[in-house]
Amino acid sequence: MRIDLVTLIVDEYDPAIAFFTGVLGFDLVEDSPSLTDDGRPKRWVVVRPPGAQTGLLLARADGDRQSAAVGRQTAGRVGFFLDVDDFDATYQRMVEAGVTFVREPRTESHGRVAVFLDIAGNRWDLLGKA
């Protein structure tokens, strides 16, 4: 058993794809046309860190309720965790790419950690070995 995908609600597909692939270095696994239950067009967009099993399904907000959840999927808590091999290089690359860090790097018992915001405003931990 495994978790294959986690849905991340975003405002628009293309800026989210650009953030996750261009800034974070994820792979674009799939970007296919699809339809909502009532026949309106949408896309099935999956991004995944290189070599990872679990990916993100980027879902464009549909309606007021979903729009209100953009950037608040975990009610302001860190809800996503990106574990990297080279923390310092990844952190520097993300800073240079304009990623917003809300908590600067620090060393914890489990390793190096810094909190950043994705394109929607969700909080992520950038994690690396101590």
Q: Give the dihedral sign, CA 103/106/92/9.
A: negative
- CA pair distance 32, 36, nearest whole angstrom: 13
Q: What is the pTM of this model?
A: 0.93
Residue-by-residue pLDDT tens, the chain, 130 positions: 999 999 999 999 999 999 999 999 999 999 999 988 898 999 999 999 999 999 999 999 999 999 999 999 999 999 999 999 999 999 999 999 999 999 999 999 989 999 999 999 999 999 999 8
Task: State the fold for domain 1-70.
Answer: 2,3-Dihydroxybiphenyl 1,2-Dioxygenase; domain 1 (3.10.180)
Query: 72-130 belongs to which homologous superfamily?
Result: 2,3-Dihydroxybiphenyl 1,2-Dioxygenase, domain 1 (3.10.180.10)
- CA pair distance 11, 9, nearest whole angstrom: 7
> What is the domain partition of the chain in residue ranges?
1-70, 72-130
